[in-house]
Chain A
Amino acid sequence: DGGITQSPKYLFRKEGQNVTLSCEQNLNHDAMYWYRQDPGQGLRLIYYSQIVNDFQKGDIAEGYSVSREKKESFPLTVTSAQKNPTAFYLCASTPSGGPWTEAFFGQGTRLTVV
């Protein structure tokens, strides 16, 4: 079945550590996105990529980094510079970076700072 796979489902980070969240899709979609979800807030865009080897900052990119070396993969690194990383992280994809496309989401990774 085609879809988006995020791993791990739960992740714990110590203060000062960098951690990487995985996102893989087999939908042959060009565009991929990372969102952060906090209680009582709408999803906020961290980074997006419309094509391999290209990505752009979203609304809350500070403290995060990404790479897009393969069409299928868009990993997100939460660096020690992110002061409040505890949140639910969602990866999404669309067939292209243009409009009139339906967004598909993974099952999310819950990151907790310990």
Chain B
Amino acid sequence: KQEVTQIPAALSVPEGENLVLNCSFTDSAIYNLQWFRQDPGKGLTSLLLIQSSQREQTSGRLNASLDKSSGRSTLYIAASQPGDSATYLCAVSAISNFGNEKLTFGTGTRLTIIP
């Protein structure tokens, strides 16, 4: 059974710092890994999608890496801003026992950027 872990559960950093969020998964047989952002009481917003054949993806100040063999992904946020404060979730996609694509989510890292 695929398990996804995100450590730490919460992180506070001063504005302007670079930071790294971690995601680990137990089964390396994945199709892709997706990073999401969730603001309080809101839905999920997709940030980056990394296919299993890729090593990293970049969007603006965000860079996500994937090491499938070791079951790890990182989300790097450069020059953090107060607007980056949110919960960040990672999810891995794989084929379930029923033959469909299934997303398995981590519990998230709640990020607070201190002005």
Identify the A interface with B (CB < 8 A).
Answer: 4, 6, 31, 33, 35, 40-43, 45, 48, 50, 56, 88, 90, 92, 94, 97-108, 110
Do residues B104 and A99 form an inter-chain contact, with CB atoms below 8 A? Answer: no
Binding site of B, secondary structure by majority: helix, strand, loop or mixed? strand
Q: Give per-residue flags for B3-23: 1 if the beta carbon is below 8 A from chain A beta carbons, else 0.
A: 010000000000000000000
Chain B residues, Cβ within 8 Å of A101: 93, 101
Q: Is B100's beta carbon under 8 Å from chain A?
A: yes
Do residues A108 and B32 form an inter-chain contact, with CB atoms below 8 A? Answer: no
Chain A residues, Cβ within 8 Å of B41: 88, 108, 110
Q: A42-B4, A104-B46 are in contact. Are A98 and B107 (CB under 8 A)?
A: no
Bound-state Cα–Cα, A104 to B89, Å: 14
Do residues B46 and A56 form an inter-chain contact, with CB atoms below 8 A? Answer: no
Do residues B43 and A108 form an inter-chain contact, with CB atoms below 8 A? Answer: yes
Of the candidates B91, B93, B103, B107, the one whose C-beta lies within 8 Å of that of A41 is B107
Q: State how many angstroms separate the Cβ of B84 from the closest Cβ of chain A.
A: 19
Chain B residues, Cβ within 8 Å of A106: 43
Identify the B interface with A (CB < 8 A).
Answer: 4, 31-32, 34, 36, 41-46, 49, 51, 89, 91, 93-95, 98, 100-108
Chain A residues, Cβ within 8 Å of B103: 33, 43, 45, 103
Do residues B43 and A45 form an inter-chain contact, with CB atoms below 8 A? Answer: no
Bound-state Cα–Cα, A65 to B65, Å: 38
Bound-state Cα–Cα, A64 to B17, Å: 44
Q: State how many angstroms separate the Cβ of A103 from the closest Cβ of chain B.
A: 6
Q: State how many angstroms separate the Cβ of A32 from the closest Cβ of chain B.
A: 12
Bound-state Cα–Cα, A4 to B101, Å: 20
Do residues B45 and A94 form an inter-chain contact, with CB atoms below 8 A? Answer: no
Q: A42-B106, A43-B91 given; name 20 further pairs at CB < 8 Å.
A: A6-B43, A35-B105, A42-B104, A42-B105, A42-B107, A43-B89, A45-B102, A56-B100, A90-B44, A97-B101, A99-B31, A99-B32, A99-B95, A101-B93, A101-B101, A104-B46, A105-B43, A105-B45, A108-B41, A110-B41
